[in-house]
Amino acid sequence: METSTDVVVLGVPARFRIIGWVMIAVTLVGVAGTAWLIFNGGAVMAFLAFPLLVLVFPLWTVLPNVFGNRASRIDADGILTRIRPWDRRRTRIPWTDVSGVWVAPIGQLRYLHVGLRDPARYITGGRLRRTTLETLLDAHGTPVPVYLHGDEEPALAAVEWFSRETVPVLDGCPVPDGRPETEPAPVPRREYRAAPRALVLPAALLSTAVALGWLGWTSMLFSLVGFAACPLLFALLMVLRLPGRTVLDGSGFTVGDRHLPWSDIALVRFVAAGPVGWVQIVRHQGETLLARGLVDQPPRDPRYTARLAEVEAACAGRVGVARRRQGQLGALILIALLPVALAVLQLVTVDRPWRDRPWWPGVEVATVTPDPCAALSTVEARRLVPDGAPRAASDDAGSPSRLCRLGSGVPQLEVGIDRASYGDLIAEGRDDFDRARRLGPGVEPVPGLGEEAFAGTYGASIVRVVARRGNVVVEVLFTPGEAGSDRGTPAYAANEAAAIEVARAAVDAVDLR
């Protein structure tokens, strides 16, 4: 805050602007890093990266310090300020239009609130801007809060000096016009608690969240899981408003254990937002409290309106009463669009079902792991290991990895099948195949076997064949028992040809759908 003999400038010191710009830069880097993880780190990593988006919140915290009411001025002609931080031009408010000023917090920040004789004159612009300013007027008594940094006394002294003491400095938000002049009537003691019917909507939202979460988990759609978090959040927010009670008597309101005398209350506001209604108590200092127990749905229910009538009668002659109705359509659209937007964002960045979901048209992936023991019952397998019965390590078709062996010593034939079941399934299958190819020396491609295949060896005589079809990788290992089966001999070539046929039987059993 800078002062001179003819002007007081309300602004943010340069060092705080630098800190703000650094925080903005860090936030943008975090968002960019999240986007990179989403598009390059795979589906699981992208899903885990979404919490990094909370870095956006520090951005909104520092924006008032960087942009808010830059270079607001108090001088002999009035107050020059940006009514909204995003306005390109500042607005001149002459002293004749100012009814009073007071200092009160909005959230964690303190503002110089400029009371206006005709607020409607300054509520201009588009629909969103007008709605924002009307909300400020309703909640804080003025649409023009000027951000204060540091001591408030120079700003208040400047108002008194430049206005020639024609503008009063108030202790808090003034009582709205229209306060009844009638003698307050006695108020009988009444206790309000939330009605059981107020749990209907949270219960419906919770059921929806559970159903969507189960559907998303079983279909491996993280977008539905994220979508389910939104009705769950709304349900929790509603439930948190319900516990507790509010007591109304001749001395004021008692919300929980906190007593608010009538002298401390500036306004009682009845709010109806879509399917829910509640009551807010606004103190002179600008603090707004929820009257617990006076939350209900629907807000037009006769039993709820009867409660409001009792509260309004008690406020007559004591404090002002205001009504705010937030359109049901707008509230429902907001409730619906937020989770839909999050679900669509996750659908196109994380799930991408057009790549690896079997129910998406044109996508062919395996959803079950075929039985490897079936491949060990073929003629070629029996030629390699004539005796014994196949022994399975797992009989669960839903398991992503299954293994079966034929033979208890040497010779021994082993078939392992691995199915990629998470993330980009086809890409994961390719990665598994590439890793298997890098493990053994002497790898040679095998054309016509699956989508890609190779044959190699372990040591001198162990035959190894690996093939991939879709998101499934088949690996066949044969350990011969007789001598003279080293690589390059006719016996090795015969064993390799038989192992390839065993791998072909396992690959053909892969069901892509």
Q: β-strand 72-75 against 7-10: which pairing, if any? A: antiparallel
Phi-psi region of 84 (alpha: psi -120 to 50; beta: other; left: phi over 0): beta
CB 131 within 8 A of CB 123: no
| Residue 317 backbone phi and psi in degrees, to 5 | 80, 0
Q: At what angle do helices 56-66 and 14-40 cross, to 10 degrees?
A: 150
pLDDT at 443: 82
* Whole-number pLDDT of residue 455: 92
* Residues 79-89: tens digit of each pLDDT: 988 887 667 78
List CB contacts of 258: < 8 A, sequence separation 6 or more: 289
Q: What are the tens digits of pLDDT across the range 174-223?
A: 655 444 455 677 888 888 887 777 777 778 778 877 877 777 776 666 66
Nearest to 420 by CA among 435, 402, 432: 432
**3-class DSSP assignment, residue 191:** strand
For residues 386 and 375, the answer to whether their CB atoms sit within 8 Å is no
Ranges under pLDDT 50 in the chain: 1-3, 43, 69, 177-180
Whole-angstrom Cα distance, residue 162 to residue 113? Answer: 17
